[in-house]
Structure 1
Amino acid sequence: MNEKKKMLGDERRKAILAKLKANNEPTTGGELAKLANVSRQVIVSDITLLKARNEPIIATSQGYVYIPHSSIGGVERTVACQHTPERTEEELHLLVDHGITVKDVKIEHSVYGDLTASIMVSNRKEVAQFIEKISTTGAAYLSELTDGVHIHTLIAANEQQLVEAENALKEAGFLIENK
């Protein structure tokens, strides 16, 4: 009998953390569940506990990623945009094609206040995976709750990349400008 034993509490969270730190690619909850021989729901709880301990873990559409604060690097800027759900892929392609990492999307909800969701896409492949995940799960874009109005946190290697990306957003009609 060679049945794999379930990992318990602290041992499991240490293994999850080690796996995430060792991977440069996102790791799915299913992969972590298989590693620890527990359900995906147990992994979700473990990730929540690890985040509560200030471990820099983010959940992306591709899986969990450990991102030490020092490794994000570059320059950040927030931009306010508005568009229909059908133009999401176009907007994300425009940004990643300018060398931008789209860190997150935020909306201001009338009941819940500020809501933020991690996106963490840096190239067309990651954009495609994000769009596919939205499509296959039937999930809605956060911006659908606010008539398309949303804010992105953008990360770039330098200020010039951000300026060029922001100009491209403006030219494409995505950017909400101060009036």
Structure 2
Amino acid sequence: MSNPTKILGDERRNFILRRLQASQAPITGSELAAIANVSRQVIVGDITLLKARNEPIIATSQGYLYMHASRPTGAERTIACSHDPNRTEEELLLLVDHGVTVKDVKIEHPVYGDLTASIMVSNRYEVKQFIEKIRSTNASYLSELTGGIHLHTISAPTEKMLDEAELTLRKANFLIDLE
């Protein structure tokens, strides 16, 4: 559903902000562009300006998401993993099958230092979308820059769910043994 006239400047950025704040699901740049009757690149610039105003917007593989301030619920931890790129889908599926959300991936780059990318997958469908986007764009996984070594921030409703997911990853030789 496209607007016949363009929404301009600050009015468009305020519109984008309200739209993201009202949505519980990510919204793609293409969707926002169609509604505002501008190019996707204009939306990318608008998101950058909103982030510069300290709006908590993150870009996920499914689109833009406004991170609402909320009370912490459930459990969260960081895990250290290592594997070949061809095992990424297997790793993510093992996690989401335990009710875990994979929030991000982090690596330590020799030049740039710590690099973090949002993943935000919590079910098989989102994992499939993420993997398909990597394949269709011929993008590399961040972990390819570090020989497969990377961190994930994971969350779940309970610590027990995280413990069970970690145990499964350990049995499948995904976790780096820190002992």
Residue type matched to 1:140 in 2?
S
Distance 1:155 1:138, change over 3 A: same
3-state SS of the aligned residue for 1:33? helix
3-state SS of the aligned residue for 2:176? coil
Q: Structure 2 matches for 1:1-179, cutoff 5 A?
A: 4-70=4-70, 73-179=73-179
State the identity %.
Answer: 68
Q: CA deviation at 1:71?
A: 6.5
Q: 1:31 & 1:55 partners in 2: Cα distance? A: 20
3-state SS of the aligned residue for 2:108? strand
Q: CA deviation at 1:35?
A: 1.3
3-state SS of the aligned residue for 1:65? strand
Q: 1:73 & 1:11 partners in 2: Cα distance? A: 34
Residue type matched to 1:93 in 2?
L
Distance 1:71 1:65, change over 3 A: farther
CA deviation digits over 1:101-153, x for unaligned, max 9? Answer: 00000000011111100000000000000000000000000000000000000
Residue type matched to 1:163 in 2?
D
Q: CA deviation at 1:72?
A: 6.5
Residue type matched to 1:161 in 2?
M
TM-score, scaled to structure 1: 0.94
CA deviation digits over 1:45-93, x for unaligned, max 9? Answer: 1111212222221111111111203177321100000001110000000
3-state SS of the aligned residue for 1:107? strand
In structure 1, the gaps of 5 or more residues are none
Greater mean alpha carbon deviation, residues 139-148 or residues 68-77: 68-77
Q: 1:91 & 1:71 partners in 2: Cα distance? A: 29
Q: 1:102 & 1:72 partners in 2: Cα distance? A: 16
Distance 1:103 1:95, change over 3 A: same
TM-score, scaled to structure 2: 0.94
CA deviation digits over 1:9-51, x for unaligned, max 9? Answer: 1100111112212222221101111111111111111111212
Q: 1:169 & 1:63 partners in 2: Cα distance? A: 28
3-state SS of the aligned residue for 2:114? strand
In structure 2, the gaps of 5 or more residues are none
Residue type matched to 2:33 in 1?
A
Cα RMSD (Å): 1.4
